[in-house]
Structure 1
């Protein structure tokens, strides 16, 4: 090197911990389809566990149309291939470190893709998945049987729900948090109370819920600490159309509020607009 010449470090020569801190600011698309393919040192940094605590696919949604027959959606082949490619690269880079997996509300996963995920993430602890249309019952059961460390599940209100709750009860001993979006009736509430009596957190946010189901949850889940019914449509009587204004409960009565005092936190909002901020928090006295 000539006298007076400065030493210039290349990007690929940066320490791995510095690269990892930089890469933490990028999303999964940028990591998998871009950064990981620049050079060997960058790919090595992309495999760091700090980058893969969570695989957040909420930025990806399927290009689909609704159809009248099962699975009730048709997914465009191009978006299906994009998901497959993304899963293969990200699960290869992550090396099984992922503990939280988040899907977009309209990201439809096929049996083969779901099985691929399950086989490579046996230590998954939290799953957020709201579109189960294209996954068969036996595939879901096999996944729950594999995910014995599962602690939290966000799911839709599916028609044949008891089998899933029962599988969780049999296989996931540390399961403590359930989030449901959809319809919540007395059958759903009874199933949860029967198979998941140790549930600590239950969120029914933005669901349609029967009052009797709410009462059952408050009575029959002795270990429940947090209940979220924010932006729920609470109704009197069975979940049968039409939902007339007379059925809709505008204000929680004293009995419900009294039962909720045993909870650490009770989140509720009986208004159904995004501007509503009347959230009630009932905290246990210390």
Structure 2
């Protein structure tokens, strides 16, 4: 709407306020009480002075769309190029407006384009959560590693174009990293994703679990929280992590199908700070897999509760 139409005019109750004439400090005070979504769907389009206030760096230390994503049921539309372009546009704008003050990025379905842009402009980034980003690759992650060395938390769950190479570079260049989340989608029973996630993406699930485990073990020794749900790494990979990441306090191994209870107990015994370990907690019918390949499943019957996650 036009600036002169915001506020102004008289009402039966007396003269009304001209909201467009609020000082910049007052506007920032008001806008800081709104969520990112609320600012983008209203005040930003009210008038020129409000739009200018919405771009103030003080409002852009955090870019959090993950909270909104968590409230909604996942939609096939999120996996379309059009949706990705919209997320990219928002992230690029916020990274630009932040003037280097952006410390947290929490979103989904962005791409290399916006993430590389953000990495170049946000050297003070501390938290990066980019779950379900099919077009984020090692290229932009290397830019993050070299430009955002203060990074403390990283969530690259369901990002299948990111390989162990990124884990190596991030580990080398971000020594303060304490939290890593590298969860995969449910490849044991992908039916929950069918019709939402493109089939070709589901089929691209990373197979190099032990390579990723080795990279984590060698280059991320200061980790305290590690999530590897549905990872395909073996006891060898877990052994590497337990030798290289001695500061671990929380280890999430939910649905890591290649690990047994005995593996987990034996290999984590040297982690003195470990206060929480989440073991594979599910049941797989014998008809699903060849017993000669997955004969160790009989261990789960004895050592794991099987009523929480059933396939």
Cα 1:92/1:38, change in 2 over 3 Å: farther
Instruction: Say which SS state the counterpart of residue 36 (structure 1) adopts.
Output: helix
Distance 2:183 2:125 in 1: 21
Give the distance between the partners of 2:212 and 2:85, measured in 1 at CA: 35
Aligned-partner Cα distance in 2 for 1:232–1:162: 20
User: What SS does the aligned partner of 1:215 have?
Assistant: helix
CA distance in 1, matches of 2:90, 2:174: 28
The 5-angstrom pairing of residues 232-251 of structure 1 reads 232-236=255-259, 249=260
How many aligned residue pairs are there? 246
Q: Gaps spanning 5+ residues in structure 2: where?
A: 1-12, 70-74, 185-205, 284-306
Q: Which residue of 1 aligns with 2:216?
A: 192
TM-score by length of 2: 0.63
Residue in 2 that maps onto 1:169: 171
Q: 1:62 to 1:39 in 2, by over 3 A?
A: farther
Secondary structure of residue in 2 paired with 1:263: coil
1:276 is displaced (CA, Å) by 4.5
Corresponding position: 1:63 with 2:86: no
**Which deviates further from its counterpart, 226-235 or 173-182?**
226-235
- Unpaired runs of 5+ residues, structure 1, are 66-74, 237-248, 278-286
Q: Residue 85 in 1 paired to residue 89 in 2?
A: yes
1:148 corresponds to 2:149: yes
TM-score (norm: length of structure 1): 0.67
- Contact 1:269–1:276 (8 Å) recurs in 2: no
Aligned-CA RMSD value: 3.7
User: For 1:127-146, what aligned pairs fall within 5 Å after superposition?
Assistant: 127-146=128-147
**Residue 98 of structure 1: CA displacement?**
1.4
Task: Give the distance between the partners of 1:253 and 1:164, measured in 2 at CA.
Answer: 26
Q: 2:254 aligns to what?
A: 231
Match of 2:118 in 1: 117
Q: Distance in 2 between matches of 1:80 and 1:180?
A: 21
Answer whether contact 1:32 1:86 (CA < 8 A) is retained.
Answer: no
1:259 aligns to 2:270 (yes or no): yes
Higher strand fraction (1 or 2): 1
Query: 1:126 Cα deviation (Å)?
Result: 1.4
SS at match of 1:213: helix
Contact 2:221/2:245, CA 8 A, preserved across alignment: yes
